[in-house]
Amino acid sequence: AQSVTQLDSQVPVFEEAPVELRCNYSSSVSVYLFWYVQYPNQGLQLLLKYLSGSTLVESINGFEAEFNKSQTSFHLRKPSVHISDTAEYFCAVRAPGAGSYQLTFGKGTKLSVIP
Amino acid sequence: DADVTQTPRNRITKTGKRIMLECSQTKGHDRMYWYRQDPGLGLRLIYYSFDVKDINKGEISDGYSVSRQAQAKFSLSLESAIPNQTALYFCATSANQETQYFGPGTRLLVL
């Protein structure tokens, strides 16, 4: 079984400042890792994912996350946030394999960008 | 058009009533899922289906039932709604072990 811990429930940050949203996971097997974003009054959208290969993955809107196996982390970063980044961010993990179904979510981190 | 649609988007009902939430997808995925989201708890899996003949309970299936009417349709029913089922409900789809794609959600209030 897997579990996900998002260490911060709320993160306020000023516009154009850098931000890091932390995610740690626990698993007895190798995992796939995901970050989803939920804008106000909308569903979840995939932001980025790590399946294999390069440990640094990037999204089209400037976010990046780095898979760190030794620290079991997948922190999300952006060097300069914009007002439009205000949303709730969910880290999720699942085991690889055709029979795997369980996508385990963290409790979410609300990012508030302050003008 | 959206790939995953949910109806209704908002619903208010009374304790004891039976209600159905519907999900349709045009992505051609075999796997479909129902989650509920509660503030501060993230998303929790209610039921999932790998194909039309395969339905499985998730983490919190008590008080819920589902029906997979076709590859593209997966409905969630609350047989007798209770107030602690007030939540935001999401349907999702995936192709095998690939990424899950979510619908816009249904906001349910049980009075």
Could you read off the pLDDT of A73-113 as tens digits, one per residue?
Answer: 999 999 999 999 999 999 999 877 656 667 889 999 999 99
Would you call A98 and B31 a contact, using CB atoms and an 8 Å cutoff? no
From CA A24, how far away is CA B110, in angstroms rounded? Answer: 34
Looking at residue B6, what is its pLDDT?
96
From CA A87, how far away is CA B36, in angstroms rounded? Answer: 18
From CA A31, how far away is CA A96, in angstroms rounded? Answer: 6
Q: Which of the pair, B101 or B2, is modelled with greater confidence?
A: B101
Would you call A103 and B41 a contact, using CB atoms and an 8 Å cutoff? no
Q: In the 3-class helix/strand/coil scheme, how is B44-58 assigned residue by residue?
A: EEEEEEEECCEEEEC
Would you call B96 and A98 a contact, using CB atoms and an 8 Å cutoff? yes
Looking at residue A97, what is its pLDDT?
64
| Chain A CB within 8 Å of residue B56 CB | yes
Bridge partners, residue B67, by sequence = B75
Chain A contacts of B104, Cβ < 8 Å?
42-43
